[in-house]
A and B are shown apart, each in its own frame.
Chain A
Amino acid sequence: MNEPVEKTLPIAAKEPTWLASSSPHAHSGDSVRKIMLTVIIALMPALAAAGIFFGWDALRLTGVCIVSCVAAEAATRKLMRRDKGIGDLSAVVTGLLLAFNLPPALPSWMAVVGSIVAIVIAKQFYGGLGYNPFNPALIGRVLLLISFPVAMTTWGPWQILSPAAGVDAITTATPLGLVKTTLGTGQPLPFVFDGDTILQFFMGAKNGCIGEVSVLALLIGGMYLLWRRCISWQVPVFYIGTVAVFATILWLADPTHNYNPLFHILTGGLVLGAFFMATDMVTTPVTKTGLMFFGIGCGVLTMVIRKWGGYPEGVSFAILIMNAFTPLLNRMTRPRVFGHGQKKKQA
């Protein structure tokens, strides 16, 4: 059933000049390796930004994740007697994405644990590339977040530019974490979110996981992916759009306890998740309508977790929960086969 195209031999008809072969007849020339390479290239601006903002720590952690992911992939494939292909680069992408979801000060051995869980448990145990129901990098991140909550939420000092408030503040929390703890103790919003702060958040001068801080770098990578048609526009647009609508409603309802919608778009892992995690080909629906619902679901869940959940950030949980809905969305949005089924009646 899953035979590669090369193995379906053309059937020779009686006339030697006529060949009949089964579809597909035209091949776009894409391969797993090419797509993964495109994703890696698209992630490079964010890696460069991480290097600028976090320095050596970010590069160390990224290296550790990539090496341990590739090693875990090679070892598992050998042990499970699968073809020993690490050349498809999918383990490199998993390693990069996992590292992008970790705080820069995380000890290396925890990153190794996360990588092994991502590759061995979340990917190879389910049957390898193409069979995993959940995004491996996010499984690795969530396992680390639940296992080592202190290490996963330890951040370096960070300065909030907020001239309108009169003073610059130093904090060791992410913007979302800061807001959550401040509001949780019944105090007003911790800083003013205006022009300068927006620019600061957009460029990436804020606390957060390695790959999520610079929205600008992520957008450059995301646009490249869109231009190469590696991802479809539905998920990022509907994901970020839903978050924006949700945040606008909250903001209009209660501006003293909610920032404007840009805050929710520019903080946390939303842009990273919307362009690089929620667009994974394996774990998301195949139809365009399915992708639309997938994006909307991710957006609603993200905002619900951010606003009312126990964790300050909900992107990884939202995407994983929606991954579980993928088979359902695929079934729900199955296109009508031409010539079969009932046509919709014209009104």
Chain B
Amino acid sequence: MRFYKELIKGLWTENPIFRLVLGMCPALAITTSVMNAIGMGLAATFVLICSNIAIAAVHNIVPSKVRIPCYIVIIATFVTVVDLLMNAYLHELHKSLGIFIPLIVVNCIILGRAEAFASKNGVWLSIADGIGMGIGFTLSLIVVSAIREILGNATLLGYAVGHYQVALLMVLPPGGFLTLGCLLALMNHIQAGMARRSGHAYVPPPTLDCRHCAICKWGE
């Protein structure tokens, strides 16, 4: 039961992109096509699961003063594995993801889960956490990239979806910020609605103030 709970929390309640707002660098940079998003998401998921297992296994013997360097070494090892494997077997995808594959080392989600979850829990639960977070990350990237690819390139997974004037901006960096911002707003709106229906008060993220949002007024 606990395994299942840890598994699904990454999909919605603790979704790394839309709820924790972690891993923004790949979420903005490589979401220009759905193929990129899937590749990036699965690569990060693999690293996340492996590093969660390794860190959960060794956290008792690592002195807490040097735990961050130790975690980084473990994460970097798996990232190198993914980097070399993708270069060998998925060379085109590897080329289009470029620097962002090695940058998984410093991805906040992976270090964040290591620090917040794997170092405090056993191997079994850490696997569930890694899978859940990884799938949540991948799905979020796919949502962002699908919007950007459809609007900015008139394709989805490389297949044409229609003949219309594309907005080039959507596949350029500003399009990433716009899409992500609008999706975050939508998520907050849905969360507020869910909280109201279940009778809880919704606490908006602390960085928002009344100038920017009217979430608390929506139900009136």
Q: Which A residues are within 8 Å of any B CB, using their own CB?
A: 80-82, 110, 113, 121, 125-128, 131, 143, 146-149, 151
Contact = CB atoms under 8 A, between A and B. Distances in A.
Interface string B194-220: 000000000000000001101001101
Given A121-B178, A143-B169, A126 B214 contact: no
Contacts of A82: 214
A146 B169 contact: yes
A126 B77 CA distance: 43
Given A81-B217, A125-B212, 6 more contacts: A81-B218, A113-B167, A146-B169, A146-B172, A147-B169, A147-B170
Nearest to A146: B169
Contacts of B220: 81
Contacts of B174: 143, 146
Contacts of A121: 178
B169 A126 contact: no
B212 A81 contact: no
A186 B92 CA distance: 37
25 contacts: A80-B214, A81-B214, A81-B217, A81-B218, A81-B220, A82-B214, A125-B181, A125-B212, A126-B211, A126-B212, A127-B211, A127-B212, A128-B211, A131-B211, A143-B169, A143-B174, A146-B168, A146-B169, A146-B172, A146-B174, A147-B168, A147-B170, A148-B165, A148-B168, A151-B165
Contacts of B218: 81
Nearest to B166: A147
A22 B220 CA distance: 34
Contacts of B165: 110, 148, 151
Interface string B27-40: 00000000000000
B167 A147 contact: yes
Nearest to B170: A147
Interface of B: 165, 167-170, 172, 174, 178, 181, 211-212, 214, 217-218, 220
A54 B162 CA distance: 33
Nearest to B220: A81
A335 B150 CA distance: 51
Contacts of A147: 167-170
A123 to B, nearest CB: 12
Contacts of A148: 165, 167-168
Contacts of B169: 143, 146-147
B201 to A, nearest CB: 18
Contacts of A125: 181, 212
A80 B185 CA distance: 12
A208 B212 CA distance: 36
Contacts of B217: 81
Contacts of A110: 165
A127 B208 CA distance: 11
Nearest to B168: A147
A143 B178 CA distance: 11
Contacts of A143: 169, 174
A51 B21 CA distance: 49
Contacts of A128: 211
A147 B153 CA distance: 11
- Interface hub of B167, B174, B178 (most chain A Cβ within 10 A): B167
Contacts of B211: 126-128, 131
Nearest to A117: B178
A103 B174 CA distance: 23
B59 to A, nearest CB: 43
A6 to B, nearest CB: 21
Nearest to A124: B212
A121 B167 CA distance: 16
A126 B211 CA distance: 7
A149 B168 contact: yes
A80 B211 CA distance: 10
Task: Rank and list the top 8 A-B pairs by shortest CB-CB distance, nearest first.
Answer: A127-B211, A147-B167, A147-B169, A81-B217, A81-B214, A146-B169, A80-B214, A147-B168
A140 B217 CA distance: 28
A257 to B, nearest CB: 31
Contacts of B178: 121
- Interface hub of A82, A125, A151 (most chain B Cβ within 10 A): A125
A126 B165 CA distance: 28
A204 B163 CA distance: 38
A110 B168 CA distance: 13
- Interface hub of A81, A110, A149 (most chain B Cβ within 10 A): A81
Nearest to A149: B168
Contacts of A146: 168-169, 172, 174
Contacts of A127: 211-212
